Amino acid sequence: MDQLNLRHLYYFWVISREGSIARASEVLELAPQTLSGQLATFESSVGGRLFLRERRRLILTDLGRLIRGYADDIFELTGELTDTLRLSESDRPLTLYAGVSASIHKLFAYYLLQPAMTLSRPMQLECRTGRTEDLILNLKRKELDVVLADRVPDMDTYGPFTVHPLAESSISLFAAPSIAQAVRGGFPGSLKGQALLANATDAPYFTRLMNWLSLQGVRMKLVARVEDSALIKVFGRQGFGVFAAPSVIRDEVCRQYEVEEIGKIEEVKDEMFAITRGRKLAHEGVRAICTTPADFGMFGSNIE
């Protein structure tokens, strides 16, 4: 079978759905004899019988059930496409393929993506996380529309991109309440020897944090490096150590992960950028992300 005849597949699908050639012929507005002939041709092309006759009803064979499963998926998608094409262009869902660097805190990323999700036009988000370098290559291959990153890519290595500054926030340190209460009073000196949890030691803010701690004469003990920023907060909630997160999301971090803020470090900033292939932002969702200030006030925090 070099090429599947979709019309014959559709006839088979309607027959299997209606349970008889007579009822299917009424739905398709074809003569029963014509429909029987089309079914026989399709059975010949797939190499086997698709129905067994039981009294006056057609019962699917094993081959018939296999093909019916694929046909259900095909014609469900066809129906969705037909419904979508009936919509005006402004009402059709727009797909946004976004990459988010793994080192970005997920709550921060949510606020940056939110402007695209609140447009009047329906938006379907396809979000991929990973190493910044890998996501930039995906962007170059036109597999992504935008990349959210906490660093500017090397243009000589990856090619010309447009970098759009989005937001910056000071960094705060958090821990389980028992740890936070014990070290808050003598901050930052009280952090000496404390366990430190990192979600990305190569993130720019982490390097700035380490430099700041060094200037304060504070040496912490790195006990874990977990790429998932949400998982590292779970470790922090369970008392395994101190972790850093943007101050702008501190209220939601404390609420969601049942931790407390130890202290805010104004000198250490976490910066966010949107990276696109060109200066012209044709995609509505990308344009919203790059031009609409993110609303960090939903949970009571204010951007620094």
Shared-domain flag, residues 174 and 131:
no
Shared-domain flag, residues 194 and 139:
no
For the ranges 1-15, 232-246, 249-263, 285-299, which has the lowest average pLDDT?
A: 285-299
pLDDT at 83 > cutoff 70: no
Q: Residue 275 has what pLDDT?
A: 94
pLDDT at 247 > cutoff 90: yes
Shared-domain flag, residues 180 and 156:
no
- Over residues 227-239, the mean pLDDT reads 88
Shared-domain flag, residues 148 and 277:
yes
Q: Is 141 exposed, middle or buried (0-12, 13-18, 19+ CB in 10 A)?
A: exposed
HSE-CB at 296 with a 13 A cutoff on CA atoms is: 20
In this predicted model, what pLDDT tens digit does every residue of 99-121 receive, in sequence order? 999 888 888 899 999 999 988 88
Handedness of CA 231, 236, 238, 241 (dihedral sign): positive
Q: Residue 204 has what pLDDT?
A: 86
Distance of CA 233 to the CA centre of its chain: 20
- pLDDT, averaged across the chain: 87
Give the Cβ contact number of residue 231 at 10 Å. 14
Share of the chain above pLDDT 70, in %: 91
The highest-confidence range among 13-17, 81-85, 155-159, by mean pLDDT, is 13-17
Shared-domain flag, residues 82 and 219:
no
How many domains does one find in the chain? 3
The CATH number linked to 71 is 1.10.10.10
Shared-domain flag, residues 120 and 70:
no
Shared-domain flag, residues 114 and 206:
no
- Over residues 11-22, the mean pLDDT reads 91
Q: Residue 299 has what pLDDT?
A: 42
Last residue of a domain, one of 86, 113, 132: 86
Report the C-alpha gap between 136 and 142 in whole angstroms: 10
What is the pTM (predicted TM-score) of this model? 0.65
Report the C-alpha gap between 273 and 94 in whole angstroms: 22
The answer to the question of residue 299 being in a domain is no
Shared-domain flag, residues 183 and 265:
yes
